[in-house]
Structure 1
Amino acid sequence: MKLEIGITVSAPAVSEEYVVGTVTNILTNVVIVEADVKHYVVTKKVLKEQGYMIEEEVDTPLQPLEIEI
């Protein structure tokens, strides 16, 4: 399953609590999961081990703007 904002996941958080909630943010190495009013941090490593596919962002160099005068 593809990991994306809005899906429900269940995994151990870095606080060692088991959390079931909705992915609200995907950062470089961790994912923020919202469960009720609390937010938890879950590592991408844990989610990859559970079979989630995580697309890595590709950094592309900025191209200079061409402005006609």
Structure 2
Amino acid sequence: MIHRKYQVLIPYRYQAILARYQVVLGDSYHVSCDACEVSGDTCKVSYDSYHVEGDTCKVSSDTYEVSDDTY
């Protein structure tokens, strides 16, 4: 997961995206986060992959706009 200090920079829908994959993949998933880059008002979160029983669901990256009211 991404570092706590970066989580406050990301809109709350980030949690919803993770929850969606939990529903699709079930309890036996593994996720690792490559990087969280904060630049200006954009936070880019890059993931490695989700692995379930030999299958892979890969999410390369997601970019979130960050406004002042999300701090």
Taking structure 1 as the reference length, the TM-score comes to: 0.30
**Higher normalized helix content (fraction of residues):** 2
Higher relative CO (Cα under 8 Å, sequence separation at least 6) belongs to 2
